[in-house]
Structure formats: structure tokens, C-alpha cells
Amino acid sequence: MIEKPHKSFIITLGWSDTPALASLTKHGLAEGDRIIFLIPDWRDEGTISTISNLKGIINKISQKIEVHELPIPIANFGDAVKRILDKIYEEEKEGRKLIINLSGGMRILIIEALIAIMLSGIKDLLIEVQSEDRKITIEVPYFWEYTPSLTETQKNILKSLLKNNMSLSEISKYCNIPISTAYRLIIELEKLGLIKTEKIGKERIISLTMKGKIINSIKK
């Protein structure tokens, strides 16, 4: 008999527990399942109350169901997407069935979660959204493929900029490529919106854009 994989629910949570409860009830809960609530990274009394209510209900079903809160820095779009993306990868790596519900919480958080899902490239997951009147729940099919195709050298350039901004000559040295090659690749990456250049003194300093930071997080 083949054992079913444990489920991981990733849920954007607001002041109402109804969307979360609807998703948990629809798909069922079992020992070993995990629930991750995406919440703003500040203390929100309404959300805290909702989590408390949900934890009480879940504990009655089983105390062996993990419940986690994942604070998201929603004011910083890049960091928010990266944090959600990292969590999606973490759950997928464990071989879990991913169920993502985007029916509650702040609109910014929902958009950040959706972008993270799109960038993950993971097709074997379920995304669902409930209408405001709670009468309709739809499953969102996977039909996007955004991630740009980059060479290993281009990826290395992006990685070199993760900690510090660099000059063209520094990138050339770090990646062990001629300056002419580094220059050409920088132009290509800039056209993709992944880096930006700024003249400081006699040098042009290269740094990652928000999109570049997010692309750096993608597991490819």
C-alpha cells in the first residue's frame, strides 16, 4: 500500500478564519500534516485572534498537526517574495503535497505569495481562492513560466552581487572572464531588468534590482 504524502497548507491569513477552515475541511487533516499561516511581520490583534481560534480547532482534531506562523515583511516586496519562495521550496523538498490558499489576508501579501508561486516553477501544487461571499472556491491552474533562461556565467554574475555592489573589473575578476565578456553580459542582464548600473566617480557600479534579488532565490 502506497502511503499518501503529508500535506503542507500555506495560507494567507487575515481577520477571518473562514477561508482557512474551508480549505482545511475540504482537503482534510491528518497526523503529520503541516499548516503555515502567512501573516504581516507586525503585531496585528485581529490576525492573532484568528490564529488562536484556528489553533484551538486544529488541536481538537490532532495535536500531531504542526501549525506555524511565517511573518512576512510585506512592505519590502523583494524580501517578502523571497521569504515565501524559500518556504515553498523547503516544503517541496520534504516531498509534501502543497496546498496554497490565497483567500484571506492583505492584498499585498496575496500578490507577493502569488508571485512567489509563479517564480517557484513548481507545477505539482494546488492553488485555490475563495470569493468574498464565500460561495465559490476555484482552483487556479498552472499556466505560467516566467523565469528567464540564464547561462551559468550570468547566474554567477548575479550571485557575485548578492552581498556587495561591484565594478565591471571586479565582476570580471570574480567570474574569471574577460572584461569585454563581462560588459556584454552586464548589458544583457540590465535589459532583463535584473541589474542596474550607476556611475560613481570614474567607475560604473553594478547592483541587483529587486527582480534580480528575487531571481537569485530561484532553485534552478
133 plus 156 within the same structural domain: no
Question: Cα separation of 187 and 199, whole Å?
Answer: 15
Q: In degrees to the nearest 10, what's the CA dihedral of 73, 79, 84, 90?
A: -120
Q: What pLDDT, on the 0 to 100 scale, is given for residue 219?
A: 62
Question: Cα separation of 219 and 116, whole Å?
Answer: 12
Count of H-run helices and E-run strands, the chain: 8, 9
The string of DSSP codes covering 16-66 is: -SHHHHHHHHHH---TT-EEEEEEESS--HHHHHHHHHHHHHHHHH-TTSE
190 plus 126 within the same structural domain: no
46 plus 123 within the same structural domain: yes
Q: What pLDDT, on the 0 to 100 scale, is given for residue 40?
A: 93
129 plus 176 within the same structural domain: no
58 plus 160 within the same structural domain: no
135 plus 176 within the same structural domain: no
Q: With cut-offs at 50, 70 and 90, classify the pLDDT of residue 188.
A: very high
| Domain of residue 89, CATH code | 3.40.50.11700
25 lies in a domain? yes
Look over the chain and give the mean of its residue pLDDT values, rounded to a whole number.
89
Name the grid cell of 40: 504581516
144 lies in a domain? no
Q: What is the mean pLDDT of residues 11-31?
A: 91
Residue 86 contacts residue 54 (beta carbons within 8 Å): no
Q: What pLDDT, on the 0 to 100 scale, is given for residue 2?
A: 54
Domain that holds residue 178: 152-216
| Predicted structure pTM score | 0.78
162 lies in a domain? yes
Q: Given the C-alpha cell 496575496, which residue does it identify?
A: 110
For residue 165, the tally of other CB atoms under 10 A from its CB is 15
196 lies in a domain? yes
110, 139, 168 - which closes a domain: 139
Question: Cα separation of 146 and 36, whole Å?
Answer: 25
125 lies in a domain? yes
**Nearest CA among 120, 125, 156, 121 for reference residue 139:** 125
Q: What pLDDT, on the 0 to 100 scale, is given for residue 145?
A: 63
Q: With cut-offs at 50, 70 and 90, classify the pLDDT of residue 147.
A: low
24 plus 77 within the same structural domain: yes
Residue 51's region, left for phi above 0, alpha for psi from -120 to 50, else beta, is alpha
146 lies in a domain? no
Residue 139 contacts residue 101 (beta carbons within 8 Å): no
80 plus 186 within the same structural domain: no
2 lies in a domain? no
| Domain of residue 157, CATH code | 1.10.10.10
Q: Which of the residue ranges 51-65, 78-92, 143-157, 171-185 would you say has the lowest mean pLDDT?
A: 143-157
Q: Which residues are CB-neighbours of 196 under 8 A, at least 6 positions away?
A: 190, 206, 207, 208, 209
59 plus 128 within the same structural domain: yes
117 plus 60 within the same structural domain: yes
> Does 133 or 101 have the greater pLDDT score?
101
Q: With cut-offs at 50, 70 and 90, classify the pLDDT of residue 108.
A: very high
